[in-house]
Every structure is written in structure tokens, then in C-alpha cells.
């Protein structure tokens, strides 16, 4: 039997779900007032008046959704992505599951870059491969400012003849930063040189607040080693609908879709139609949630800036995605997170979920209504004041 | 890379899906006019007016559905099945995927009883375990009548120290028969004696036309070795909604749900609510489709009886499930199936999908509207007449 450890954040999230009065900034889901965009659900209701969504569909996903994704990516990245490069999946995790189960043999090694999204480790393990954690991202003070710095050399050092894959998220979960074009190119070169698959989980690609995001998408037609994961759980906030997608070389899509046909049969068909509508109306729907998430990020940063000035935490301002990842003064933040959960009824994800080197950190998901973030900040502030960790926080935070 | 072979029936089904004028009796889905019961979809539409289905839910599934399934099974089988024994899954295949990935280690052996549903082999393979086919079911003429006979001794002979699991379907896909109480008990005894998991896929349990069906459900509280798979794809015809369930000892459910949380996050939430409604109104909904499927089975049997009398086929009358599994005069039915697909535009599943010993057979899924089955029979009849395989079929079949 394979014993997978459940990420602590899932355990914490279930406390929130089954009890009253908690505010959760733990699970990485976009949650805005009123749920997902009403127009998506109205369209789903129309589909339910037909039998379109009732029966099994192709394991690759429904044709119009694959077509729409291919067209969108081809135009956005000026790249020859075709329908044969696209498979619809049961969320981003379904895409990762299918590709890992297909491409990995027992005993293969998979490099995960710390801090790493915890599900990657589990997916590698149930694929009977071996996760190899490489602390490639380090938070460093450069010219007076905290930055996450990628050290590519430690990745190369970790490669062995058994290495088959490297999985990372970009924008980063949990760091909230993006790779530079140069860094992405370096990773691609490493993948090609060593014949390993480079899997880039880009589920937060619609939430870039500052700077330039470089997707792996345009590398796919140029390389047989690059795979890119996408999701509607984040962009459209449809996490309960379970629809994502995989973009990869046709040869790989072919094998992976056979696997998906066996393990999943097909992704939820009503979910696929809902995602199709959402994607077709993306330009109306996403800006609304983008603005809310950006506002929430700014509020969270204003508060954590104060804590940082007090020396209570240090962090890199997130430029993308859903997370503010702050370093505490603890060697392991777990106890602090559980304490805050209990006393302030605020749920966050402890750093231990993201690897050994991430233990001092805490992940705060700000993809909530700004009012919810303000309420969360107030509770955290009260907690810190009560704890006398810094009495001056109160004074400082009056300016908030 | 794991190369899984796509079942031929999936390839055939995609010909049907992407072309006009075909009638499919290949894929094992319940397809009745007008799609699934309208009341289920009306309820789903109500749920869509709330945000209940928008976000991630517990990996185990939504609480009211788990509760309803546990109550239903406890009452139906007078057995202490509780909510802790039940996990909601992404269809029956999702249940098998999660349990196999959790319980199997690389190199473990899994016994599959031929004729075997082809997806089992793939699931074993991507779990990095080894499928061991055992031709335990044999079609024999006993007292002038064809019967499927289970030989338990060949199963015991196939067990090695590496054997970890035995997977079978009951009612049988493709044989259309059920295990006797004695046979089920024998399998359970073998499982316990050799410490192997007995996985019984009971997705056709709502379609028992004659005789008594013995579910593995009441064995679960008595044994730590029995797991039972269920699905709403068959009972309620909701195959596109992707909802099924697993019933197992709590200790196993606990580990398997952690795995599901990683690979699937959770099953489609709107699908779970739709299934909940369907289950609550099962007694209104299922009898309608049951009657149609039974009528279709009777029509199919009347036709295949004629072919049997002519010596063209031989088969065991299905007493349960969706399939009529007939033996042709060919060593391998594949060419015949492809010929009928091309000439008569009738899709069926070739025996090769179900294992070496099943090659002479063809699987005909009668879970369609009776009118569709009649049209299918007409085309098959024309085909056989055109082929001069038996000129007298026409005469005989006038009585149909």
C-alpha cells in the first residue's frame, strides 16, 4: 500500500468546512461573493435542457473546448498549437495525474523545486516514481529587497540517469513569482539535454499583476520535452466543476489520453460545456475577478509590509497568482498556524506542506473578496497584538 | 512510458461518435431517448442557482450523498455499513483507479478473471502492477443449456506470494450473469486466506432481470479484504456526469481518499448533487429505465435465439446487466465486428477486448431504447442474410 501524507492545508481546510466562524486563506481556490460568474451557470442550465452532457464523451474532451483552447493559445502566443496538442482533464490535478501515470515508470526520479506545491509529491509517489526535492528557490535580500532567486545549478546537480521529469508551477505556488524568460529557457535546455520532461503547471496564468509572464506554451511546438498544465478552477473560479487541460506534443497527448480514457473515462461533460462558455467570454468574466484579487493582494501586502517593518515576517511581494508566502521567525511555522487557526479562526497553509526548506514560511491565499481579506487582516492583527509579538503593530496598522 | 492499449470498443465508439448513421451497441452506457431523467436535471438547475457546486469539496465526496448511500446500503443489505465506509468517486473507473493506485505497489500481481472488462488491465498496468489473466469463466453446455461456469480452482492455482488483488465485475461485464452466493463466498474465502483484496465492481446491480443477485456489500463489515465499486453512470444513466462510489473498510477508505484528494481533488460537485437527487428518487426513476432495458434485452435475445438455432452463434441468456455476449464461429471476432461496423453501420465490442479466451465472442450492449434495438436487429439480420451466412434466418426472423 502507498501511504500518502495528506497536506496539512487540506486537514486545516476541512476544519473550516465543518465548523462555523472560520475564515479560510488556506486552500488555493478563487472564492468571490456569489460564486462563479452567473452567465457560466446560465449557459450550463441551457445545456441541461438537452442531452449533450448526459453521456460519456471522448477521453480527449469535447471537440469545441479543445478547439477553443488551441485557438486561444495559438493566437495569444503566436505559436502553432493545434487541437492535437490539447486534452481536457479533470482539473489541473487530473492533468498532472494522467501525465505522470503515463510517462513515469516505477523507480523513475522526478525533480520537484522547493518550495513545491504538495500535490506534486503525492502524484509522483502514486505513480511509483521517486520525488527528489531540490531547494532551487531561495529568498534573498538583493539591493535591500527580498527576492526569490532560482539556482539552476542545483537542479543540474540533482539529475541522475533515473531522472525522467521536472515539475514546477509558474506563476509559483506558493511563492507568487514568475520565471524570467532566461530561467524558463534554462529549464527547457536542461530538459532537452538530459531527456527529461519539463512539466510547467501554469494554472495561475490569468493572474499576472506586475511584470511579464513567460508561458511554456510556445516551447511546445519546438520541443518534445515540454508539457503545460492549465485549469479553469483558477481562471474562472470553477474549482468544483473539475475542468482543466493539458498542452503537450501530439505524441504524448495520444498516449496520455488513452490513459485518461481508462482512469477517468472522460472529464465531467457539463463542466466542459461550462468551461467552454467561460472561455468564450473570458474577456468579460476574468477582469472582474482579476480586479478583486489584485485589490485583495494589495490589502494583504499593506498589512504584511507592516509586519515586515516590525521584523515579524519577511516576504517577497507576490506579482502573480493567489499567494503571499511569508517567512516567520519560527523554524517550523506549523504550531503558529495551528495557534492562529484556533485563536483567530483564520486558516492558512503551513510551510511544511511545501518542503523542508519552506518550514519557516506560511502561505496566505488572498484570492477572496477584499472585505474578507480585511476581516482576515483584522483578526491576524488582533492575534499578533494579543500575543504581544509586537505592540507597535497596532499603532502602525492604524494607517491601514 | 507506460503504453496502454486502447480497447477496440473505444476506437469503434469514436467512429460512431464522429460519423452519421451508425447505431452503437458497443459502449456500455445506458442510452434512452431524451437523456437522463428530467427531474435530476431540474434539481441540478436549482443547485446552479446557488454556489453549492462551485468550489472544491471534501475529497471523500459531499456528506449528504455519502450519508444517503450508506443508509441505502445498510437498509438494503441489513448490514452495518456506515458513512465512514463510503467514498464518492469520479465514476466507477475513478473508484478503481483510486483503490488500485493506493493499494498496489510496483510489481504486485492482480488476478483478472477472463472474460474481463478491459479497463481493469489498464488500471493495473498504470498502477505499475502486473495483470494475471485467469480464464476462470467458461461457457459450457450443461443439460442442453449454455451456462457460464466459474472454476475457482484455477484462481487458486494462479495465486503467488506477489498476488495482492482480484478484480471482477458482478453482474458480469461482459457475460451478463451473476455469481451465486456460494461462488461469492468462495472468492471471499480465497481473498482472506491469501491476504488479497477482493474488488467487486457492481455497477450493474440495479439491472437484475432474473434470479438472485448477491452483493459483496454485506461482506465489507465482516472482512478487511472486500471492496465494492458502484456507479450512477449505469443505474441512473448519468455516464457524462462522472459520479460513482466505493464501499470499503474504513481503514482503506481513509488511505484511498487521501490519494483521491491528490489525483482528483474531488469528484465533480454538480454531478454529486445530481446523483444525490437521483438516489433519493431512485424508486421513481430506475423502474422506468429498467423496464426499457429489459424489453430491449428480450428483443435482442429473441433475435440471437434465432441465430443460435441456426448454429451461427451460441450464447448464455443474460440475466443481469447491459450485455449479450455471443460466441461466433470465428477464432477471433475482430474482423467480423469491423465488417459489420462498415457494412451494417452497427457497432459492437469485439471479444479480443475481454481477453485471449474471449476472442471468438462479441459483446452487444442492449441498454438502448427498444426501437433502437429493433433497428439494430434489422440491420444485423440484413447483414447476415446478405452474407448468406444463413438464408433461413430471414424466414425464422419473420416471427420476431
pTM (whole model) above 0.80: yes
Number of CB pairs, chain A paired with chain B, less than 8 A apart: 210
Distance from CA of B389 to the nearest CA of A (A): 35
User: Given this model, what pLDDT does residue B22 score?
Assistant: 96
Measured between CB atoms, does B28 come within 8 Å of chain A? no
Distance CA A266, CA A369 (A): 33
Q: Please give the pLDDT value at position A1.
A: 85
- Report pLDDT for B397: 57
Domain boundary among A265, A281, A297: A281
- Give the closest-approach CA distance of A386 to chain B in angstroms: 33
Smallest CA–CA distance from A34 into chain B, residue: B51
User: Which of B245, B261, B281 corresponds to the end of one domain?
Assistant: B281
> Do residue B294 and residue B217 come from a single domain?
no
Nearest-CB residue to A241 (from B58, B94, B270): B270
Domain CATH number, residue A107: 3.40.640.10
Total number of domains constituting chain A: 2
Residue to test with chain A: of B104, B268, B365, most A Cβ within 10 A: B268
* Residues A368-395: tens digit of each pLDDT: 999 999 999 999 999 988 876 545 555 5
- Residues of chain B scoring pLDDT < 70: 388-400
Predicted pLDDT of residue B284: 93
Do B148 and B294 have their domain in common? no
Residue B125 lies in a domain: yes
pLDDT of residue A386: 84
Residue of A nearest to B196 (CA): A1
Task: Please tell me which of the candidates A48, A126, A262 has its beta carbon nearest to residue B263.
Answer: A126
Structural domain span for residue A359:
8-36+284-384
Are residues A112 and A132 in contact, defined by beta-carbon separation less than 8 angstroms? yes
Residues A32 and A116 in one domain: no
- Same domain, residue pair B238 and B271: yes
How many Å lie between the alpha carbon of A341 and the closest alpha carbon of chain B? 19
Same domain, A259 and A314: no
Indicate whether B263 belongs to any domain: yes
Residue B226 lies in a domain: yes
To test the contact with chain B by mutation, choose from A55, A119, A241, A273 the residue with the greatest count of B C-beta atoms within 10 A, namely: A55
Which residues of chain A lie closer than 8 angstroms to B9, CB-CB? none
Residue A288: give its domain's CATH number. Answer: 3.90.1150.10
**pLDDT computed for residue A29 by the predictor:** 86
The pLDDT score that the predictor gives to residue A389 is 55
Residue A50 belongs to a domain: no
With an 8 Å Cβ cutoff, is B240 touching chain A?
A: yes
A151 and A28 within one domain:
no
Answer whether residue B268 is part of any domain: yes
Q: Which residues of A touch B104 (CB under 8 A)?
A: 2
Tell me if A79 is assigned to some domain.
yes
- A 256-275 → B contacts, CB under 8 A: 258-259, 261-271
A238 neighbors B57 (Cβ within 8 angstroms): no
B189 part of contact set with chain A, CB < 8 Å? no
Q: In this structure, are A73 and A221 located in the same domain?
A: yes
Kindly state whether residues A230 and A369 are assigned to the same domain.
no
**B268 vs A48, A122, A242: nearest CB:** A242
pLDDT, one tens digit per residue, over A208-245 is 999 999 999 999 999 999 999 999 988 898 999 999 99
Residue B385, pLDDT score = 85
B107-136 residues touching A, CB cutoff 8 A: 107, 119, 122-123, 126-128
Domain endpoint, select from B258, B281, B304: B281
A48 assigned to some structural domain: no
Confidence of residue A17 (pLDDT cuts 50, 70, 90): confident
CA B361-B397-B377 angle, to 5 degrees, is 50
- How much is the CA Rg of chain B, to the nearest whole Å? 21
Predicted-complex ipTM score: 0.93
Please tell me whether the peptide bond between A174 and the residue prior to it is cis, using omega within 30 degrees of 0: yes
**Chain A residue nearest residue B244, CA to CA:** A264
Q: Is B399 within a domain? A: no
Residues A20, A156, single domain; the answer is no
Residues B97 and B139 in one domain: yes
- Distance of residue B211 Cα from the nearest chain A Cα, in angstroms: 29
Give per-residue pLDDT as tens, A242-265. Answer: 999 999 999 999 999 999 999 999
Q: B289 CB near a chain A CB, below 8 Å?
A: no
The pLDDT score that the predictor gives to residue B392 is: 54
On whether both B20 and B168 belong to a single domain, the answer is: no
A17/A162 same-domain check: no
Do A383 and A344 contact (CB within 8 A), yes or no? yes
Q: What is the pLDDT of residue A35?
A: 79
Amino acid at each position: 500500500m502507498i501511504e500518502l501524507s495528506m497536506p496539512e492545508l487540506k486537514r486545516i481546510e476541512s476544519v473550516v468546512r465543518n465548523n462555523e466562524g472560520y475564515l479560510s486563506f488556506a486552500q488555493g481556490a478563487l472564492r468571490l461573493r456569489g460564486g462563479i460568474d452567473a452567465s457560466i451557470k446560465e449557459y450550463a442550465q441551457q445545456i441541461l435542457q438537452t442531452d449533450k452532457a448526459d453521456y460519456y464523451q471522448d477521453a480527449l474532451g469535447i471537440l469545441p473546448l479543445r478547439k477553443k483552447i488551441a485557438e486561444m493559445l495559438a493566437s495569444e502566443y503566436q505559436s502553432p498549437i493545434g487541437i492535437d496538442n490539447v486534452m481536457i482533464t479533470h482539473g489541473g490535478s487530473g492533468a498532472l495525474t494522467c501525465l505522470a501515470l503515463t510517462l513515469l515508470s516505477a523507480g523513475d526520479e522526478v525533480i520537484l523545486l522547493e518550495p513545491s506545491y504538495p500535490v506534486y509529491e503525492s502524484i509522483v509517489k502514486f505513480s511509483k516514481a521517486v520525488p527528489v526535492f531540490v531547494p532551487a528557490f531561495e529568498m534573498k535580500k538583493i539591493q535591500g529587497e527580498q527576492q526569490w532567486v532560482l539556482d539552476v545549478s542545483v537542479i543540474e546537480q540533482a539529475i541522475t540517469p533515473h531522472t525522467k521529469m521536472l515539475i514546477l508551477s509558474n506563476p509559483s505556488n506558493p511563492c507568487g513569482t514568475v520565471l524570467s524568460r532566461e530561467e524558463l529557457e534554462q529549464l527547457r535546455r536542461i530538459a532537452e539535454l538530459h531527456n527529461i520532461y519539463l512539466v510547467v503547471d501554469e494554472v495561475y496564468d490569468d493572474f499576472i499583476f506586475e511584470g511579464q509572464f513567460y508561458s511554456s506554451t510556445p516551447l511546445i511546438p519546438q520541443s518534445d520535452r515540454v508539457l503545460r498544465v492549465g485549469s479553469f478552477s483558477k481562471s474562472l473560479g470553477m474549482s468544483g466543476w473539475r475542468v482543466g487541460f493539458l498542452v503537450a506534443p501530439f505524441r504524448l497527448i495520444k498516449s496520455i489520453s488513452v490513459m485518461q480514457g481508462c482512469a477517468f473515462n472522460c472529464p465531467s461533460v457539463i463542466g466542459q460545456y461550462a468551461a467552454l462558455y467561460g472561455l468564450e467570454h473570458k474577456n468579460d468574466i476574468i477582469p472582474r475577478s482579476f480586479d478583486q484579487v489584485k485589490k485583495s493582494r494589495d490589502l494583504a501586502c499593506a498589512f504584511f509590509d507592516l509586519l515586515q517593518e516590525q521584523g515579524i515576517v519577511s516576504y517577497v511581494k507576490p506579482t502573480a497568482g493567489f499567494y503571499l508566502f511569508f517567512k516567520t521567525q519560527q523554524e517550523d511555522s506549523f504550531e503558529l498556524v495551528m495557534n492562529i487557526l484556533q485563536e483567530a479562526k483564520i486558516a492558512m497553509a503551513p510551510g511544511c506542506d511545501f518542503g523542508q526548506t519552506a518550514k519557516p514560511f506560511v502561505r496566505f491565499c488572498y484570492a477572496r473578496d477584499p472585505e474578507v481579506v480585511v476581516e482576515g487582516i483584522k483578526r491576524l492583527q488582533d492575534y499578533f497584538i494579543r500575543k504581544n509579538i509586537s505592540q507597535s503593530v497596532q499603532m502602525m496598522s492604524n494607517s491601514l
